[in-house]
Amino acid sequence: MHLSRRTLLAATTTAAAGISAPPPALAARPEPRTGFEQLAAGGYRTLAGQKVGVVTNPTGVTRDARHIVDVMHADDRVDLRAVFGPEHGFRGTAQAGGSEGRYDDPATGLPVHDTYLKSGRPLADVFTASGVDTVVFDIQDVGARFYTYVWTLYDCMEAAQLAGKSFVVLDRPNPVTGRSAQGPVLHKEFATFVGRQPISQAHGMTVAELARLFNGEFLTTPVPLETVLMSGWKRSRFYDDAGLPWVPPSPNMPTPDTALVYSGTCLFEGTNLSEGRGTARPFELLGAEGVDRRWAAAANGLGLPGAHFREAYFAPTFSKFQGKTVGGVQIHVHDRAAYDPVRTGIGLLVTAKRVWSGFAWRADNWIDKLTGSARVRTMIDAGADTDEVVAGWQDELAGFRRVREEYLLYR
């Protein structure tokens, strides 16, 4: 296993015991096993003798669709004392920017504590009050810097250290592969909950790899960290190779196809165009009143790899343009191995501004928080084309890729 260059990092562990060899027909391509499956197969030895709390949401499931909280609660080998819910909540009932608050889970009777928008000492106090010794993290990420669960991970690691707790990360696949990091790197002066630290827009890492990176690069004092790795996962594999059920990590992430485009088209949250919220295809449908077929034609004219753009009309049921018919595009990814979501998102911004006179950035310049600096916005406003905008972040991206390489755990 590759070791961190920081001596203060706790040793990363795997709990692979008890997994039998696959049948000969599958030996060349074993079915991936999640960190939780590895933990359970090892008899939960990593958690032995500890009072445990779990940071999770509806995505924390086994391949037969049981929630890990329900499984552990029913197992005498685990002393499960609390659950910690992120944005959207433990059971996932809240929309973007919301949570479920503090309550007792009806299924298990466990206390559920709200972590959303808590960090530092206030979050450490939640961990202390819960009475747990160890905080376990198991949430499905989607591979984008501005997806808030990776910063829930960061905040919980920092708070666990402040509270004197140990921290365990149960790994899951990056659904859009871990082949490469793409996009601009966050500038620290633009840090928010959609980007706490300087990682790239599409990070190409698993949550266990991110946890190691956070511990080694960003936390002032590392937390005692263990990571329970997957078996059988390769960096080139998409989510549908994992044999796992897809549970929407948030209400507007309904399918793995959504995750595939999200790290690029979420940038439209920073504009006055709809990013497709309130439709059956959020982040794949984009549009606004007054947009017509010229946008799809312009986007197709860029020759962006792996995707075609269809002229589309839709009426969102909530969010921007609720109840109104708008025009725009639908992204159709025909070669996901060649598809570059961040370049595609930039190309769509550039062409939207050129073909629609009503184009505007959100008044609070939210686009700067999403991209990590003012550069993308100012370059597009100055008339830069897609290649010029993408070229603007290559040096910082190369630097992040070098750092990232030290923390990768899979080939």
The string of pLDDT tens digits covering residues 232-289 is 999 999 999 999 999 999 999 999 999 999 999 999 999 999 999 999 999 999 999 9
**H or E segment at 71?**
helix 68-73
pLDDT surpasses 70 at 370: yes
What are the start and end residues of each CATH 3.40.50.12170 domain in the chain? 24-248
Is residue 206 a contact partner of residue 409, using CB atoms and an 8 Å limit? yes
**Confidence (pLDDT) at 101:** 81
Q: What integer is the mean pLDDT of 143-154?
A: 97
Are β-strands 182-185 and 134-138 bridged in parallel, bridged antiparallel, or unpaired?
A: unpaired
Q: What integer is the mean pLDDT of 173-185?
A: 98
pLDDT surpasses 60 at 25: no
In the chain, % of residues over pLDDT 90: 88
Pick from 22, 45, 230: nearest CA to 140: 230
**Confidence (pLDDT) at 94:** 74
CA 146 to chain centre: 7
CATH for the stretch 24-248: 3.40.50.12170
- Per-residue pLDDT band for 30 (boundaries 50, 70, 90) equals low
Q: What integer is the mean pLDDT of 134-150?
A: 97
pLDDT surpasses 50 at 46: yes
- Per-residue pLDDT band for 211 (boundaries 50, 70, 90) equals very high
**Confidence (pLDDT) at 8:** 38
- Provide the residue type at 205 as one letter: M
- DSSP string for 250-263: STT--SHHHHHHHH
CA distance 247 to 393: 33
Q: Tens digits of per-residue pLDDT, 81-128?
A: 999 999 888 987 777 778 888 899 999 999 999 999 899 999 999 999
Distance (Å) of CA 406 to CA 1, 3, 113, 134: 11, 8, 34, 26
**Confidence (pLDDT) at 92:** 77
Tokens of 120: 């530092």
Round the average pLDDT of the chain to a whole number and report it: 93
What are the start and end residues of each CATH 3.90.1150.140 domain in the chain? 256-373
Q: What is the pTM of this model?
A: 0.91
Q: What integer is the mean pLDDT of 204-212?
A: 98
| Fold adopted by 256-373 | Aspartate Aminotransferase, domain 1 (3.90.1150)
Cβ burial of 187 (10 Å; 0-12, 13-18, 19+) is middle
Q: What integer is the mean pLDDT of 185-206?
A: 98
**Confidence (pLDDT) at 21:** 42
- Per-residue pLDDT band for 29 (boundaries 50, 70, 90) equals low
